[in-house]
Structure 1
C-alpha cells in the first residue's frame, strides 16, 4: 500500500483552448470548481494583465507557468516578462519549436544557445525559464546524443529548466520515470498526461501511464506541480475530459 502524499494539480489551459477563446473568465471559474489549484496559460485571449490577475484572485487559482511562443520570446521578451510579472507568473516556458530544427545539427546547436540566452535574460528579471518537450526532441540525435538530453546538458540548469511532458517521452519510446530521475532538481513542473492503448491521448487515470510511479518518483525529484493536459479529446468534450482526470486523481487519493 502506498503512502498518501497529496500533490499540487494544475491544468494546462491549452486543453480548454476553445472554451478560453469564447470566455476566459467563465472557463477559469469552471476549472476552479473542478478542484484544480493552478493553471498554466497558453495565451491570454486578448485580456489585459490587470484582467487576468483579477480572474486569478477571484477564483483562487495560482498562475503556475505560461507557454510563450519562440517568436514572442525572440521579438517581445521585455513585454512578455512585464505582462507575466503583473499577473504573478514567474515561470515562462518555450512550448514548441519546429521539429526540423532538431534534424540539422547546426540549427539545433544555435537554438540551444539561443534558449540559454533567453533563460539568462528571464533570470535577470527574477523569473524562471524552461523548455517543454514533444517526441521529436527524443527521436533525433545531436552529436550522437538524444537531442533533449543535449539541450539540457549544454545549458545551465539555472537558465533552462525542464518541463517534462511525460506522455511525449513515452510516445518517443523512452522511460518517463528515468527522465524524472535524470533531471531531479530541474523539473518544478511536469505535464501529466495519460495514453490510451492505441497511443492516443486519454484522460488521466484511464490509460496505461503508471501514475503511482510518476508521483513517487516526481515527489522525490523536486516536482512542485503536476499539470494535467490533454491535447485532443476523443470521447468527451474537453471540459468533461478535464473533469474525468480530476475525478480519477481524487479517487486514487492524489488530491
Structure 2
C-alpha cells in the first residue's frame, strides 16, 4: 500500500531556520517519509539520527545536476548512509534547455554510475519537458525512451503534467512499473495564466483521480509538494495532510 511523504523544499525556509524542529513537525503531522532537497549543513550522522528519532523514511533526494556530475560519490555515500537509495534530477536550468542531447547523455552516465553502486537515478519533471519537443516528441518522453528503464526511473510531478496541458493519469499509465514516486500537488492559474501552487484540494486539479491512478499503478510513495506557500508553509502542509486523511477516510488506499 502506498505511503505519504513530504518534499522538504516545501518547508525550505523552516528547514533553514530549524532543521531539527521542522522534521519533528513533519512527522507529527503524519507524514511517513521525506524527500530531501539539501541537508542544510547537517552531517549524515545527524540526519540519520533525526530520521530514526522521528520514525521518518528518506524516500529520495533531489540533487542538482552539478552535484551529480561533479560530486556523485559523495552524494551516494551520504544518501546510502541515511538509508536513501534514490537520487533524483530535480530541474534543468533554463539556460541549459537548448542542449537536451548533452543533458540526456549526462543523465545516462550518471545513471550507470549510480546503478554500479546500488543507487537508482530518477528524473523529476516540470512543465517545460512537456512543452518542448526533441526530434518530434516531448523532451520528457525522449529522456525516458533514450535512457533505459533499468537505469532511470520516473518521478512524475502530476501538477506540472496537467499544467502543461497533458493528462497526468495517462502518464501514470504510460510509465506504470517504472514510477515508484509521484509528486501530488495542486495548482490554479492566476489571471495572467501563471501557476500558483496551492494546498491539496484548493486548486483546479482532480487530485483524487490522480491519487487513485497512482496507487492503482503501484506507486510506492505519494509526495506532497508546494513550490510556494502563500498561507505559510506549516499551515499549508497541515491543510494538505487534512486532505490526505479525508481521502483515506473515503476509501483511498493510502497507509497513513
Instruction: Place the TM-score, normalised by the shorter chain, in its bin.
Output: over 0.9
Query: What residue in structure 1 maps to residue 7 of structure 2?
Result: 12
Instruction: Give the conservation status (yes or no) of the 8 Å contact 1:177–1:214.
Output: yes
The corresponding residue for 1:147 is: 139
Q: Is the 8 A contact 1:205 1:249 kept in 2?
A: no
Q: Does 1:112 align with 2:107?
A: no
Q: What is the CA–CA distance in structure 1 between the aligned matches of 2:137 and 2:218, rounded to whole Å? A: 25
1:37 aligned to 24, 32, 36, which one?
32
Aligned ranges 1:62-211 → 2 under 5 Å: 62-102=57-97, 104=98, 107-196=99-188, 198=190, 199-211=195-207
TM (norm. structure 2) is 0.93
Q: What is the RMSD computed on CA atoms of the aligned residues?
A: 1.2
Deviation at 1:197, TM superposition (A): 5.2
Moved more, 195-204 or 119-128: 195-204
In 2, the alpha carbon distance for the partners of 1:162 and 1:227 equals 13
* CA shift for structure 1 position 160: 1.1
Which structure 2 residue ranges, 5 or more long, are not aligned?
Answer: none
Secondary structure of the equivalent of 2:2?
coil
Report the secondary structure of 2:48's partner residue.
Answer: helix
* Stretch deviating more after TM superposition (63-72 or 216-225): 216-225
Q: Distance in 1 between matches of 2:115 and 2:16?
A: 30
Query: Which whole-Å CA distance do the structure 2 matches of 1:147 and 1:122 have between them?
Result: 22
**Is the Cα–Cα contact under 8 Å of residues 36 and 60 in structure 2 kept in the other structure?**
yes
C-alpha contact 2:185 2:207 (8 A) present in aligned 1: no
Correspondence for 1:51 among 46, 52, 57: 46
TM-score (normalizing by structure 1): 0.93
- State the Cα distance separating 1:101 from its structure 2 match: 3.2
Pairwise CA distance, 1:249: 1.1
Q: When the two structures are aligned, how many residues end up with a matched partner?
A: 246
Q: Distance in 2 between matches of 1:100 and 1:158?
A: 29
CA distance in 2, matches of 1:60, 1:92: 21
Unaligned regions of 5+ residues in structure 1, if any? 1-5
> Can you list the C-alpha shifts for 1:69-120, whole angstroms capped at 9, x where unaligned?
1100011000110011110110100101123433x3xx21111111011011
Q: How many angstroms does 1:252 deviate by?
A: 2.2
> Are positions 1:230 and 2:222 aligned together?
no
